[in-house]
Chain A
Amino acid sequence: MNRRNFMKFLGFITGSTFLSSCGIDKGLRKIISYAIPPEKEIIPGEPLFFNTTCTECPALCGIQVKAYEKIFDTERGIYPVKLEGIPDHPINYGTLCIRGQASITRLYNPHRIKDPLIKERDGVFRSISWDQAFQTIISEIEKHKAEKRYNFFISSRTTGSLSLLIDEFCHEFNIKRLPEFEIYNYSAIRKANSFLFGKYSIPHYNIKDADFLLTMGADIFETFISPVSHAVQFSIARKNNNLKWFHVEPHLSLTGICSDKRFTINPGTEIYLLIYILTSIQKRKISSNIPASVGQLIPSLPLDILKEKTGLKEEEILLIRDAYLNSKRPLIITGGVSTRSGSGFEVAVLSGLINWASGSIGSLVDFSREENYLRVGTIEEFVNFLKTIDENNTGLLFLLKTDPVSIFPQHLGVKEKLIRARFKVSLSDSFNETTKICDLILPLSHSLESWGDANPRRGLVNLIQPATKTIFNTKSHGDIIIEIMKRKGKVVSEDFKSFVMSNYQKRYGKDSLNMFIEKGFHEENPSPVRVSFNEENAQLFLRKLKYPEAMKTPLLILSPSLRFFDGRSFDLELLKEIPDPLSTISYGSWISLSEETAKKLNISERDELEITKDQWSIRVPAKIQKGIGKDIFIVQIGGPINYSGMTDPRSGEILSYIEGINIRKTGKNVSIPILSGSMSQEGRGIIPYPIHRTENNKKHKESLYPEHKHENYRWAMTIDLDLCIGCSACVAACYIENNVPIVGINEHLKGREMSWIRVEPFYDEKDGIRFLLMLCQQCDYAPCEPVCPVYATYHNPEGINAQVYNRCVGTRYCSNNCPYKVRRFNWYPHEWEFPRDRMLNPEVSVRQAGVMEKCTFCIQRIRRAHDIAKDEGRSIRDGEVMPACAQTCPTRAITFGNILDKNSSVYKLSKSDRSYRIFEQLGTEPSIYYLGKRRGDE
């Protein structure tokens, strides 16, 4: 090379290097350093906690929000990543259900309404500013006031300050506030209580103090009043009073499965059994509280008729009766499908009589802590209101967080009736059938973005406080109403926060306010409420008592859904991703029927059926399931499936039954994602009850490799199958805690769900259905470890079978070799689009496509506990670390701890005589000990 060329090259290289390094904006991001210090109290990387209230369902559990400060491009904000129960909250005691866990995904739902929307003349929604929205409302109010039209306000259940504010709002603008619209309004129970005891309310059931519980139709673990509270109390009663629990139902529910004994009764014949129990108590004379004047009116039923009507066997009836009579503190709870029938009112009254007779009213049935359903109306009332809507007389219609259009079937014309109102304003967080017909949509903030309070029951007030600023252009309901009133010149309060605070101060004084904000709730000892027995009404009732006719078959039962409540949680993807524990179906709707019925009608699984009754119809694929009565069909509420809209005029409840349905095969075959490969244990002794109990494979297998050394800690878990109710809260908690991706129906159809923990139902031993929690067993001799060619999975010094995502090359050999099949492979890359990326737990890495992932015993929590313990110069205490699954478990079935510590509860439980491990004969030495069942006749 000569000098000339050298200079040319030098110039070229220098020039191109220089040019290429300037002017490229692609991929360039600004880094915000902490030169601008974060808000006070924020330590970078440390979580923040806020105590607030879960508003996913009307139970209003107290929740602790875990939030992190996160930086996205130029934006810095605090974002919640996980919800957990407030440890000493009187409803949920630190636990949370599946819906509560999933409700955080409602905050980050990309399909939320992002701006106020107004309907144009052509029927298309256009976004407007809040200012314009308020102006529109004011002018509409003025207009209809001038034209003397009636305005209405409909909402779902509201409590506390919000309810007061709505009252003021309605008063101010002369709006008629309608009874609140809730499908599950328990009006049969309330009416019965008003009839017998003069209290139109739902009492608080003290299950924890009972020693015998008889539930009839009441789905106490799914939707009934306060499911988490019931589960917590069940667990306490089980431990303290050795609670015995029978469940009577016409269909098949999670609650029924979890009881000690489940009885299938002919639909609508609960009355017979209730009368029989009442008579039996009465015959005992000494211990009945029912006065003789009423007692003598109780009809006595011959056992033969009882057997014939209810379809129960004689020994079953006697078993229920004796259990009731022989217990000291028996409690009967009726509800759910049993009170949503034509005889629902009678069922509720009779159970009230039984509770009165056995002296449970006042102690186990506590009216002093009555649930706050004061403003909730009945379905009957709502249907009557619809009739009054008129184009000329009805002006404004406010719909707050309620979706009546999709709740009622199309042929009832609810939509057409609501449309008649001149101007409809919807306050909603997501689009639904009702928002479609509205003229103005005001986007609501999630409760994690708003201030407020809630009053779930007498003597308890919960705080709702924001854990983040609003993600979209939304406002809380309280703020919207205050703002409208401000525009009209009526200043109630500066904003809803101060309204809530002043309400609290008015009631409880200034001193406890800080405590309230910190704790998230305030409980007072409510003044006792004495109820008296209305003899006259009881006599009247018994004189007029009519026995119901048998329901016409084929019968369809519309059952409440564990995952979607009354359908309101249906838009949460996570809830669809987690399978229904009874059928293991994740996405889509289905209809369950027994094998016998299927054979009779020549239906096979996945056949699409069209179910019609008059104008009402649905199309769903069939699922054959054990444990269902003959000619009975069950669908779960949610999404396309909803109630028929028929009501019972006396109780005002919606009916759960559709009699004499027509069934037609459409000839189509619908793929439904049934995640379970087999509903049977196939005799493998996975749940060794009762036939496998004697099997003992505890022999330690010889190994060529040296034993693992565990110095101070060896993490282990026990799962008490006697307490596990299959509620799947742990599954949801795990998804959120560990950034487990949601993969959708197509992947589910292939069996590629990503859950690290799953609820396996096994239908064995005479229709007995048992749940098993399956998660990584953290084996001491883990079959996955030796087969990994790159040490991506290895045994850590604390006994955890750790997975190094960065090292994994994806041979899937570990998953093949896992006898428990708990490892999950990332088949595709997963998108975490805005705003879902805000939800990611920063303590857990997001996995790339092509790597294996699995349960880590929430190793991030263990690490944190280590750090804290090290700072304080001690070792980790028992119970200090709780994986997300154990933390949320309402029945505390999961115990976690260091098994090397002989004083730890996990060590003690692992030595229980009920303890066993799954597939012990394989010599894998799992770290998870299951405690077998002790239920049934034992």
Chain B
Amino acid sequence: MNKAISKAIEFRYRIEKDVLAAMKKPHIQYWIFLFISVILFVTGMSLWYYQIKTGMGVSGKTHPVGWYMYITNFVFWVGIAHSGTLISAVLFLFRAGFRSSFNRSAEAMTVFAIMTAGLFPIIHLGRPWLFYWLLPYPNERLLWVNFKSPLIWDVFAVGTYFTVSLIFFYVGMIPDLAIARRYATGWKRRLYSFLSLGWQGTPDQWRHYNRLYMFLASFATPLVVSVHSVVSWDFAMSIIPGWHTTIFAPYFVAGAIFSGTAMVITLVVPMRKFFSLEKYITLDHFDSIAKILLLTSLIVSYSYIVEFSMAFYGGNIFEMEVFRYRAFGDFWIFFAIMIICNSIIPLFLFIRKLRRNIKFLFISSLFVNVGMWMERFVIIVTSLSRDFDPYAWGLPSFSTVAIGITLGSFGMFFMLFLIFVKVLPILSITELKEVHE
């Protein structure tokens, strides 16, 4: 046999083995992480039950501040979802090679983040058992939803996004599932056989597959822009100073990609370490993704400046008060954290050395996650606290339930991700083969 061919085959097997090695019996560390996540998730769900039982009052919302942590979490998780699509679809269309190191985890992250995000609009409802009233379903009383309401747009935007992301995630995984089928035994084998939909890797199948993947990528790309624009319109379409502004759509999209990219780094860095994937996820790749982080950070910082300048030069007293309050009012600490995390720390990424420093990258990604959560919180809460009528100004109250449910959402997200790494191939094997040849 030709030596070169046998080497290539051997290389292919090595990739398969390396990637699928992650699916082997887990370490004790894995179980600890999973346990913590599950505990958080279960606590969060129990608190939700408690909230339904006692009343919305336990969530810390008050009279002017009708939206609080739950909507913050919703926007935050939808934002997290974004870079998944960006990395897998947009970068695919741009043929960015480093994408294949991240795309699978990014896509998984997208799906799980939307699942988490999707819970919050229901959690925050006064009567959550009636959530289906937000869906336009035919009924004998001829009740219909209000298509003027941005919340209905949300239902469609998030619903579409979830469907498309899930299909994209799944379709991209079919050839890998077929590989996993080959290595698996017992019930796992049966599962992978089912999921791989009879994939044989014939040239015909590949041709169809590539075309489908291309279509899906093109289809998903506009969603990157549209979904978070719609989410931002929940605020921008309102009348509240601090919300009612045209900059919100691009500002939120940039913010979403920013936070999503940070979350990808947060997830991939430990994953790379635990499963010894240094060979496949290299420093060059991190360098590239850090550049995305930097770029979006600059856009977000620019938006902050624009917001404040508009308020200042606009001379509208309502607007001016809200922005004065945002920076110097009761929530100044939150604002300061947001500026430090989102605008200042990422500036260090201009230094090439730091972009290639995994530890630094990981820590700054954590800061960005925190900062972006703060950003949503600050926008929502400070604007509601100080709107038009000074008599009605007020603050939200501290709520352990809201904090518990927030932590529970992190528990849910990490729980799903941890299950993912043990059940599905964490890197795109077929793409890696392609790239490395």
Q: How far is the CB of B81 from chain A (nearest CB, A)?
A: 21
Per-residue 0/1 for B236-277: is the Cβ within 8 Å of any A Cβ (1 yes, 0 no)? Answer: 011110000000000000000000000000000000000000
Which residue on A lies nearest to B121, using beta carbons?
A811
* B-chain residues with CB within 8 Å of residue A815 when the two chains form the complex: 63, 66
Q: Are A850 and B56 in contact (CB under 8 A)?
A: yes
Contact B126 A826 (CB under 8 A): yes
Which residues of the other chain, A, contact B134 by a CB distance below 8 angstroms?
789-790, 809
Q: Do A850 and B126 touch (CB < 8 A)?
A: yes
Contacts of A758 in B (CB 8 A): 391
1/0 contact string of A912-938 vs chain B (CB within 8 Å): 000000010010100000000000000
Q: Give the contact stretch, choosing among A207-215, A622-630, A780-788.
A: A780-788
The reply to whether the CB of A820 lies closer than 8 angstroms to some CB of chain B is yes
Q: Which of B55, B149, B239, B392 contacts A849 (CB 8 A)?
A: B55
B126, B131, B134, B150, most chain A CB atoms within 10 A: B126
- Is B394 among interface residues, defined by CB-CB distance under 8 A? yes
B317 within 8 A of A: yes
Query: Do A686 and B149 touch (CB < 8 A)?
Result: no
CA separation between A787 and B149, bound complex, in Å? 4
Q: List, in ascending order, chain A residues with CB within 8 A of B144's CB.
A: 791
Which of A114-122, A713-721, A745-753 binds B? A745-753
The residues of A that contact B430 with a CB separation of less than 8 Å are: none
Q: Quote the shortest CB–CB distance from B141 to chain A (angstroms).
A: 10
Q: When the two chains form their complex, are residues B145 and A677 in contact, meaning their CB atoms are under 8 A apart?
A: no
Give complex CA distance A344, B225 in Å: 77
A684: Cβ under 8 A from any B Cβ: yes
Choose among B67, B133, B321 the residue that contacts A790 (Cβ–Cβ < 8 A): B133
Cβ–Cβ < 8 Å partners of A783 in chain B: 238-239
Segment at the A interface, from B41-49, B111-119, B382-390: B382-390
Contacting residue for A811 out of B151, B317, B386, CB 8 A: B151
Let me know if A807 is at the binding interface, CB within 8 A.
Answer: yes
Assembly CA distance A852 to B131 (angstroms):
15
Residues of B contacting A762 with CB < 8 Å? 390-391
Q: Would B55 and A828 count as touching, CB distance under 8 A?
A: yes
Known: A787-B237, A817-B238, A828-B54. A809 touches B389 (CB 8 A): no
A686 near B389: Cβ-Cβ < 8 Å: yes
Instruction: Kindly provide the distance from the CB of A270 to the nearest chain B CB, expressed in whole angstroms.
Output: 34
- Asked if B125 is an interface residue, CB under 8 A from chain A, the answer is yes
Which B residues touch A678, using CB under 8 A?
390-391, 393
A639 CB–B CB distance under 8 Å: no
> Does A327 touch B at the CB level, under 8 Å?
no
Residues in A751-777 with C-beta less than 8 Å from chain B: 751-753, 758, 760, 762, 772, 774
CB closest chain-A residue, reference B234: A813
- Report yes or no: A816 in contact with B131, Cβ–Cβ below 8 A: no
Residues from chain B with Cβ under 8 Å of A382 in the complex: none
User: Residue-by-residue, is A671-682 near B (CB-CB < 8 Å gives 1, otherwise 0)?
Assistant: 000011110111
With a 10 A CB-CB cut-off, give which of A680, A774, A789, A817 has the most chain B CB atoms.
Answer: A789
| A811/B239 in contact, CB under 8 A | no
A762 to B150, CA, bound (A): 35
- Complex interface bits, B168-209 against A, C-beta within 8 A gives 1, otherwise 0: 000000000000000000000000000000000000000000
Q: Which residues of A contact B143 (CB under 8 A)?
A: 790-791, 807
Is there an interface contact between B63 and A821, defined as CB atoms closer than 8 Å? yes
- B326 at the A interface (CB under 8 A): no
Bound: A675/B395 CA distance, A = 11
Q: A812 an interface residue at 8 Å Cβ cutoff?
A: yes
Q: Is the CB of B145 within 8 A of A789?
A: yes
| Chain A contact residues: helix, strand, loop or mixed | loop
**Structural contact, B392 and A677, CB atoms closer than 8 A:** yes
Assess whether A810 is in contact with B55, with CB atoms less than 8 Å apart. no
- Tell which of A684, A816, A850 touches B125, judged by Cβ atoms closer than 8 Å: A850
A contact residues around B55 at 8 Å (CB): 826-829, 849-850
CA distance A861 to B184 in the complex (A): 74
Evaluate contact between B61 and A812: CB separation under 8 angstroms.
Answer: yes
B418 in the interface, Cβ–Cβ < 8 Å? no
Q: How large is the interface on B (under 10, 10 to 19, 20 to 34, 35 or more residues)?
A: 35 or more
Q: A808 contacts the other chain (Cβ, under 8 Å)?
A: yes
Residues of chain B in range 31-64 having any CB-CB distance to chain A below 8 Å: 54-57, 61-64
Beta-carbon contact of B66 and A682 below 8 Å: no
Partner of B67, one of A683, A751, A812: A812
> Which A residues touch B387, using CB under 8 A?
819, 821
CB-defined contacts of B239 to chain A, threshold 8 Å: 783, 817, 819, 922, 924
Query: Which chain B residue has the least Cβ–Cβ distance from A772?
Result: B391
Q: A740 to nearest B CB, angstroms?
A: 14
Bound complex: CA A480 to CA B230 (Å): 72
Query: A722 vs B61: C-alpha distance in the bound complex, in angstroms?
Result: 36
Complex alpha-carbon distance, A753 and B124, angstroms: 20
- Contact: B151 with A677, CB < 8 Å? no
A878 to B126, CA, bound (A): 39
Kindly state whether residue A348 has any CB partner on chain B within 8 Å. no
Is B240's CB under 8 angstroms from A684's CB? Answer: no
> Could you say which residues of chain A place their CB within 8 Å of the CB of B393?
677-678
Provide the residues of chain A in CB contact with B54, threshold 8 Å. 828
Contact between chains at A751 and B62 (CB < 8 Å): yes
Determine the distance from Cα of A751 to Cα of B387 in the docked complex, in whole angstroms.
15
Check B127 for interface membership: any CB of A closer than 8 A.
yes
- A827 neighbours in B (Cβ, 8 Å): 55-57, 61
A816-B240 in contact given A677-B390, A677-B391, A787-B151 (Cβ < 8 Å): yes
B321–A682 contact, CB under 8 A?
yes
Tell me if B125 and A810 are in contact (CB < 8 A): yes
> A851 near B127 (CB under 8 angstroms)?
yes
Q: Mark B133-163, 1 if CB is under 8 A from A, else 0.
A: 1100000000111101111100100000000
Q: Quick one: given A809-B125, A828-B57, are A820 and B388 in contact (CB under 8 Å)?
A: yes
CB distance from B44 to the nearest CB of A (A): 20
The answer to the question of A470 belonging to the interface, with a C-beta cut-off of 8 Å to chain B, is no
**Which single member of B63, B121, B131, B395 contacts A753 (CB below 8 Å)?**
B63
Bound together, the chains give a CA A829 to CA B238 distance in angstroms of 29
Q: Which residue of B lies closest to A850 (CB)?
A: B126
A808 to B389 CA separation, bound complex (whole angstroms)? 25
Chain A nearest CB: distance from B151 CB in Å?
4
- Whether a CB of chain A sits under 8 angstroms from the CB of B28 is no
CA distance A790 to B141 in the complex (A): 13
In the assembled complex, A825 has its CB within 8 A of some CB on chain B: yes
CA distance A676 to B391 in the complex (A): 5
Separation of A786 and B146 alpha carbons in the complex (Å): 7
Q: Which residues of chain B are near A410, meaning CB under 8 Å?
A: none
Asked whether A848 is an interface residue with its Cβ less than 8 Å from the other chain, the reply is yes
The A416-435 residues at the B interface (CB cut-off 8 A) are none
For A751, the closest partner residue in chain B by CB is B394
Query: In the complex, which residues 655-682 of chain A have their Cβ closer than 8 Å to any Cβ of chain B?
Result: 675-678, 680-682
Q: Which residues of A contact B146 (CB under 8 A)?
A: 786, 788-791
For A753, what are the chain B residues with a Cβ–Cβ distance below 8 Å? Answer: 63
Residues of B near A825 (CB, < 8 A) are 56, 61, 63, 66, 126
Does B397 sit at the interface, judged by CB under 8 A? yes
Give Cα A922–Cα B145 distance, bound, in whole angstroms. 26
* CB <8 Å contact, B384 and A682: no
Assess the B317–A760 pair: CB atoms within 8 A: no
Residue of A nearest to B150 (CB): A787
How distant is B52 from chain A, measured CB to nearest CB, in Å?
9
Given the known interface contacts A751-B63, A816-B240, the answer about A849 and B56 at a Cβ–Cβ threshold of 8 Å is yes
Complex CA gap A810/B121 in Å reads 11
Q: Is the CB of B388 within 8 A of A811?
A: no
A-B contact pairs, 17 of them (CB 8 A): A681-B390, A686-B390, A752-B62, A762-B390, A783-B238, A786-B146, A787-B151, A809-B126, A811-B125, A811-B126, A813-B238, A817-B238, A819-B239, A821-B63, A821-B392, A849-B55, A924-B239
10 more contacts with CB within 8 A, not counting A809-B130, A812-B66, A849-B55, are A683-B317, A684-B388, A751-B394, A760-B391, A789-B133, A789-B152, A809-B127, A813-B234, A819-B389, A851-B126
List the interface of chain B (C-beta within 8 A of A).
54-57, 61-64, 66-67, 121, 124-127, 130-131, 133-134, 143-146, 148-152, 155, 234, 237-240, 317-318, 321, 384, 386-395, 397
